[in-house]
Amino acid sequence: MARYLPQDLGIEGDFQELAIKFFPPGIALKKPKVTVRERNIANLPTGSEITAEEIHFNFRPLQMFSGTIRIHEVLVVQGEVKLVLNQSPSQKKNAKKTRLPFTWDDLFKFQADAVAVKDTRFDLGFTDSPMKLQFVADSLRLEQETRGKSPGYGISTELHEIHGTFPRQLTRDITLPAEIERLRANAHLDAAGLQLESLVLLAQGIAVDASGLLKGNLLSPKDLLIDASVNASADIPLALQLLNRKNDPVSGTVSFSGKVRANLMRFAETARAEGVLNAKDSSSRSGAPTRFAPKRRGARMSSR
């Protein structure tokens, strides 16, 4: 397999069959297994691997007439991706440096215009923490693109069956849903931050539609400032449960439409929201909207 892949990626693997494709031109590997070596492009620890029904390495048609061959797209079909990372977010605050072991320059050394997966299950873990994240990607595409003078990546994804195990210090102020049923997102990521063009999240009793800007270097975060437009609705008992207020005897639904601003590195202390909050009791036919602009540490809403 190594003869068909760039030598500097730090990966090795095996496959059952190799097929040459004519349109789009490329190579398809049947039943591949790819394992990360000790030294690899992302400096990941050993243990990460990819298995799939097929992995396609697609090229642009006109490359056959040039002397330069560059992978246009790596496509994983019906795969299982296991990623093991060195340092979890919960441990970063105790480390001397809060940065990943690779830089933006390292990312752009990857000799492929795009990486995509289809019908693939992901299992993300850390060597220093029980934190885990699992999800199924109906589709996920990461593509190099330049906006203005800033090179970055375009991201489009549709995920479902999202589960996670998180340390207590990351969920001290809120309780995360046991499962996110579906997530769709389109965004642009570069060294300046993340431009979230659209995000739709659905969980049991919760719906969120958001867009906005996250400023800060995600590979070496000091401050991550989010400014987002959010439309959200939830069942009131579930919303209170997520806020760790499980004993409030309230029923009905609540919705919010407005702006949310915060520093994600200090979310509990910096979160601010401005907009319209509409709460509706299940026994009532209408709810009165309330406009509010919480102070820096948030506002407490009381029912009458």
Is 216 in a helix, a strand, or coil? coil
Distance CA 51, CA 35 (A): 9
Q: What is the pTM of this model?
A: 0.72
Tokens in use for 52? Answer: 């799939």
- Burial pattern 204-230, b for ≥16 Cβ within 10 A else e, equals ebbebbbbbebebbbeebeebebebeb
Q: Which residues, in sequence order, are bridge partners of residue 13?
A: 34
The H or E element spanning position 144 is: strand 129-147
Tokens in use for 144? Answer: 């190099």
Residue by residue, DSSP assigns 234-264 as EEHHHHHHHTT-TT----SEEEEEEEEEEEG
Kindly give the residue spans of alpha helices, DSSP state H, lying in the chain: 89-92, 104-107, 236-242, 267-270
First-to-last C-alpha distance (Å) of the chain: 68
Q: Other C-beta atoms within 10 Å of 149: how many?
A: 5
- Burial pattern 89-122, b for ≥16 Cβ within 10 A else e, equals bbbeeeeeeebbeeebeebeebebbbbbbbebeb
Half-sphere exposure of 301 (CA within 13 A, CB side): 21
**pLDDT tens by residue, the chain, 304 residues:** 445 455 556 667 788 888 888 877 888 889 998 887 766 655 666 778 889 999 898 887 765 555 566 778 889 999 999 888 765 554 544 444 444 444 545 544 556 789 999 999 999 887 777 778 899 999 999 998 887 777 888 999 999 999 887 665 455 556 677 789 999 999 998 888 899 999 999 998 899 999 999 998 777 778 889 999 999 999 888 777 776 666 666 778 889 999 999 988 887 788 899 999 898 876 555 555 555 444 444 443 333 3
Place of tokens 């693997």: 13
